Amino acid sequence: MDVYLSQETRQSLHALNLMSSKSSGYLIGHMRGNRFFIEKIFPCSNNIPGSIEKHIQLNKIFEDKLIGFFSFDVDDKKKKTLLAPFFTGKLFLEIKSDRQKTPSIIPYVIEYENEFFLKELKCLKLN
């Protein structure tokens, strides 16, 4: 599995990196084969992933295209909130901010095998 970031997504994440290092939000896109395609992002509060009910409502607004979450400078406590049955198979981008240059992006998929865990993926088209 790997992740492709559209130009709009890369530009939006770079802009958020310059403006604020504590942003979080949703990833909008689709999956084709073993590749996640992130078309754009929807920044929102730091309460990611939030309630399942709100996630379902947002997914309807975005026509079933919510494929995951992103968060800048995330801590382990926040990562653990993603390790739940409802989010299995979703994408998570951990973004390490550096306001002087392009942020570092580490993509994961939320998986389960006797316990929930984040499996690191390859990220394509970063620059």
Summarize pLDDT for 45-55 with one digit per residue, the tens: 766 767 788 88
- pLDDT at res. 127: 46
Summarize pLDDT for 9-58 with one digit per residue, the tens: 989 988 888 887 678 899 999 999 989 999 999 988 766 767 788 888 98
Summarize pLDDT for 78-119 with one digit per residue, the tens: 888 888 888 899 999 998 887 667 778 899 999 999 999 999
- Measured between alpha carbons, how far is 20 from 72 in angstroms, rounded to an integer? 9
Total domain count, the chain? 1
Q: What is the DSSP string of 29-85?
A: EEEETTEEEEEEEEEE-S--S--HHHHHHHHHHTTT-EEEEEEES--HHHHHHT-SG
- Measured between alpha carbons, how far is 18 from 36 in angstroms, rounded to an integer? 25
Q: In what order do the strands lie in the sheet with 2-5?
A: 116-120, 104-112, 91-96, 66-72, 24-32, 35-44, 2-5, 122-124
- Measured between alpha carbons, how far is 24 from 95 in angstroms, rounded to an integer? 9
- Flag whether pLDDT at 66 surpasses 90: yes
Burial of 93 (0-12, 13-18, 19+ CB in 10 A): buried
Structural domain for 64, as ranges:
2-124
- pLDDT at res. 126: 45
> What CATH number did the domain enclosing 32 receive?
3.40.140.10
